Amino acid sequence: MSISLLGTKIGMTQVFTSTGLCIPVTVIKVGPCIITQIKNLHSDGYNAIQIGYSEVGAHLLSKSRLGHLNKTNAPALKYLREYKTNKLEKFYLGQVLKVDHIRIGDKVNVQANTSGKGFAGYHKRHNFSRGPMSHGSKNHRQPGSIGAGTTPGRVFPGKKMAGRMGNSKTTIKNLTVIDINTDKHLMLIKGSIPGKPGAIVSINQK
């Protein structure tokens, strides 16, 4: 059964196989997640489940969020995420989804926000080359012309310029699950995933 879970990135380390091969892995704390809502084609126009993750104090949530969670007697959950599915009969309200739903060797897609790097210039943000450094050149790290002349007399949307860098949603596909610890809700995934340690990640089993 293909499922989607929420988790927290712990960090990176390395593991060794029985043949002595060193594999870089990312450690993720996955779940436990609680199904807080089930949407179906008749009432909502599509089939999906909503899961909650990371229990917090009730005083940290709005009254509307608490009212929504109280309908299913769910605890105060900080994060809610919705996933489409075609197998609603496999799920029920209040069901707890844990890391044991995923097997070692499975392929997963991991989605998270990349690390934010603040306001960056065009040189660093888009990997542009610099201008000449000699012969009286005064254009070293300047963007140069950004317009297209009198016509159209404006800058086109999407022009690569300086601005906020990072903190964008990114998905890494086809990552292999190396190991699972069901007692501590930990999962080791081969390779790196977006975000800093502590970032919220979405794991989608293929």
Whether 13 and 25 have beta carbons less than 8 Å apart is answered as yes
Counting residues of the chain whose pLDDT is more than 90, the rounded percentage is 39
pLDDT (mean) for 40-50: 87
For the chain, the first-to-last Cα distance in angstroms comes to: 9
Q: Is the pLDDT score of 1 beyond 90? A: no
User: For residue 2, what pLDDT is reported?
Assistant: 67
The token pair at 158 is 């999407």
What does the pLDDT look like over 61-72, one tens digit per residue?
A: 889 989 988 888
Domains (ranges, CATH) in the chain? 4-118+168-205 (2.40.30.10), 119-142+155-165 (no CATH)
Q: Rounded to an integer, what distance in angstroms lies between the CA atom of residue 104 and that of residue 147? A: 53
Neighbours of 78 (CB within 10 A): 15
Query: Strand locations in 17-116, DSSP E?
Result: 22-30, 33-39, 48-55, 77-84, 96-97, 107-113
Whether 76 and 57 have beta carbons less than 8 Å apart is answered as yes
User: For residue 95, what pLDDT is reported?
Assistant: 85
What does the pLDDT look like over 116-126, one tens digit per residue?
A: 999 999 889 99
Whether 36 and 77 have beta carbons less than 8 Å apart is answered as yes
State the greatest distance between any 2 C-alpha atoms of the chain, in Å, as a whole number.
Answer: 73
User: For residue 16, what pLDDT is reported?
Assistant: 92
Annotate 33-50 with b (16+ C-beta within 10 A) or e (fewer).
bbbbbbbeeeeeeeebbb
Exposure of 72 by Cβ count < 10 A (0-12 exposed, 13-18 middle, 19+ buried)? middle
User: For residue 171, what pLDDT is reported?
Assistant: 92
Q: Where are the alpha helices (DSSP H) in the chain?
A: 41-44, 63-70, 122-126
Query: Is residue 138 very low, low, confident or very high in pLDDT (cuts 50, 70, 90)?
Result: confident
